[in-house]
């Protein structure tokens, strides 16, 4: 996690994403190979707000397909995923829709925090990276990975590295020819060379990871 320099936009755009991908390719020959093969990475943006944070909580320690299924069930039963609909449903109702006891507790706690004004997601979106990270991390059940994904995907911050993302770790191992899946500290050390565009480096690795799993 870092604070982007004042000269770097606080929010990625299509233009700055492309610019950053080319800059990283000039610095890192492994990323240059990804850029040459696939072009600049997709933006992969998500909306800001409560519903996206709920979806990210559902994604913790499960497959993306499993999280999408749980999220779809919530929408079907609640109509709209808002702090009001979630708090009315209560934890027991969330469990009845297929959430684990733990995830139901986390989603409900998030809803209460937003409803009662303890968490202002609009204010979080205006905070510097470190402050936004700390504000979200203070919530029960939202760990560093979830915070980083929200900052990277929804807030589109340019210099975020998502600790604990297995796909990124596996892609980094392949791209860098490591012969092993790097741990958190090794990932951070490698990604440090990509500042202030670590979010773009992450997107390029995800791009490569998905390309390798695409049917021939």
Instruction: Check whether residue 56 and residue 75 sit in a common domain.
Output: yes
Computed over every residue of the chain, the mean pLDDT equals 91
Q: Last residue of some domain: 126, 154, 182? A: 154
- Pick from 19, 29, 2: nearest CA to 162: 2
pTM confidence score:
0.90
Model pLDDT for residues 168-205, shown as the tens digit of each residue: 999 999 999 999 999 999 999 999 999 999 999 999 99
Q: Is residue 4 part of a domain?
A: no
| pLDDT above 50 (res 137) | yes
87 within 8 A of 108, measured Cβ to Cβ? yes
**pLDDT (mean) for 121-138:** 94
The pLDDT value given to residue 216: 57
Model pLDDT for residues 15-73, shown as the tens digit of each residue: 999 999 999 999 999 999 999 999 999 999 899 999 999 999 998 877 778 888 888 98
Q: Cα 92 to chain center, whole Å?
A: 28
Instruction: Check whether residue 131 and residue 207 sit in a common domain.
Output: no
| Domain span holding position 171 | 14-44+159-213
CATH number of the CATH domain containing 87: 1.10.340.30
| pLDDT above 70 (res 213) | yes
User: For the chain, first and last CA: distance in Å?
Assistant: 36
The pLDDT value given to residue 6: 40
Residues 6+ apart with CB under 8 A from 109: 139, 140, 141
């Amino acid at each position: 996690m870092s604070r982007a320099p004042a000269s770097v936009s606080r929010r990625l755009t299509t233009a700055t994403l492309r610019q950053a991908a080319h800059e990283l390719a000039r610095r890192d020959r492994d990323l240059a190979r990804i850029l040459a093969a696939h072009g600049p990475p997709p933006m992969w943006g998500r909306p800001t707000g409560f519903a996206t944070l709920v979806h990210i909580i559902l994604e913790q320690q499960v497959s993306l397909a499993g999280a999408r299924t749980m999220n779809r069930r919530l929408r079907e039963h609640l109509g709209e995923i808002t702090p009001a609909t979630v708090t009315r449903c209560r934890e027991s109702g969330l469990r009845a829709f297929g959430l684990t006891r733990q995830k139901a507790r986390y989603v409900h706690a998030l809803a209460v925090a937003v409803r009662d004004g303890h968490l202002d997601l609009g204010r979080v979106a205006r905070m510097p990276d470190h402050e936004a990270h700390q504000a979200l991390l203070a919530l029960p059940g939202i760990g560093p990975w979830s915070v980083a994904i929200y900052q990277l995907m929804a807030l589109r911050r340019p210099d975020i590295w998502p600790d604990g993302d297995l796909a990124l770790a596996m892609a980094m191992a392949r791209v860098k020819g490591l012969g092993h899946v790097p741990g958190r500290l090794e990932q951070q050390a490698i990604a440090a060379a990509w500042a202030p565009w670590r979010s773009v480096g992450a997107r390029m690795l995800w791009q490569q990871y998905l390309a390798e799993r695409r049917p021939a």
